[in-house]
Chains A and B, each alone.
Chain A
Amino acid sequence: MSDTIIKDTSQKKQGALTALANPTRFMGLSGKLLPWFIALAIIVTAVGLFYGWRAPEDYQQGITVRIMYIHVPAAWFAMFSYTVMAISALGVLIWRHPLADVSIRAAAPIGAAFTLLCLVTGSLWGRPMWGTYWVWDARLTSVFVLLIMYLGIMALQRAMEDPAKAARPVALLVLVGFINIPIIKFSVDFWNTLHQPASVIRLDGPTIHPSMLWPLLIVAVGFTFLFLAMHLAGMRNEVRRRRAASMRIAGARGKTASAATAVLEG
């Protein structure tokens, strides 16, 4: 009896997971969620920035502290995008699900944009505060390496015409590159860096005054919706692109699409 229940439960779980991963169901659900994520991204980010600009200036940094409200969330999502790609890479290698590869493809340019945003805003903060736009310390260098890795992954994805063939090498590269994420996070603790140590995500709690911390966290929530919206939009574009490729092959052959690409048809 208990064996039957366990078996039934596992079958239900598998069914739910595969149902969520079904491309057609994904397109239906993401199509409904996308407008909400876009609206929330705009509203929540705007509210966070509004309160950020109303918060007092820092007694040492002056007005430049306001760069923090975009620099810090951009840095978080530069790393978060890569983490999403690493989890998706596991989906490619373990479950071999094409939607996982679609997720990597969609997240890479978004992560690259957040990394660039982080580097640009950090550089513009560094000039007045440190007296230099750039220094090769461990934090800045590891984030720069992250940008190069995003670009490398995007290049590898586009180096092979068939996305099904590129999926595994790309997933492996993403997983190997994930080692850089803890390096970025702990670089300010491991090495003596010009970049300040963590002041929000730390074991003994944030060291930022609540008047600045709350707007920062609100912008981070806004960026969460921004990431979700852009990731879903990118995934939907990629699914459509693969469906079109599959249909072109089917049209050329005059029969149903090949198994290699048909899996995204749903």
Chain B
Amino acid sequence: MSEHEIFVYSSYALGALILAVLVIWLWVDRNATVKELARLEDMGIRRRSDRSDSSDHSDATAKADGIVQ
């Protein structure tokens, strides 16, 4: 093993660690938000779009998106 190999392996190990932490955080966040939405729906709270029968509703919301922050 050359004296420089340790720097190469350390780079790849730290690179994998940084990306793994990011991916795990995204996965944990995904599970938490999915659970929270399911919990709220179980409580009987519905989003406006779920209450609307109109198929044009999403288009109307999209228009609103352009003007409402």
Contact = CB atoms under 8 A, between A and B. Distances in A.
A70 B15 contact: yes
Contact of B65 (A21, A67, A109, A233): A21
A244 B64 contact: no
A16 to B, nearest CB: 11
A63 B4 contact: yes
Nearest to B12: A70
Interface of A is mostly: helix
* Size category of the binding interface on chain A: 35 or more
A262 interface: yes
B7 A125 contact: yes
B68 A259 contact: yes
A117 B49 contact: no
Contacts of A164: 69
A63 B26 CA distance: 33
A262 B51 CA distance: 13
Interface string B25-40: 1100110011011001
Contacts of A266: 47, 49, 58, 61-62
Contacts of A62: 2, 4
* Size category of the binding interface on chain B: 35 or more
Interface stretch (A149-157, A209-217, A249-257): A249-257
A233 B62 contact: no
Interface of A: 18-19, 21-25, 62-64, 66-67, 70-71, 74, 95-99, 109-110, 113, 116-117, 120-121, 124-125, 127-128, 164, 167-168, 226, 230, 233-234, 236-237, 240-241, 243-244, 246-248, 250-251, 256-257, 259-260, 262-263, 265-266
7 contacts: A24-B49, A120-B15, A230-B26, A244-B40, A246-B47, A263-B69, A265-B48
Given A25-B62, A117-B14, A241-B33, 13 more contacts: A24-B61, A64-B8, A70-B11, A97-B65, A98-B69, A120-B15, A128-B3, A128-B4, A233-B26, A234-B29, A237-B29, A244-B33, A263-B61
Interface of B: 2-5, 7-8, 10-12, 14-15, 18-19, 21-23, 25-26, 29-30, 33-34, 36-37, 40-41, 43, 45-49, 51, 58-59, 61-69
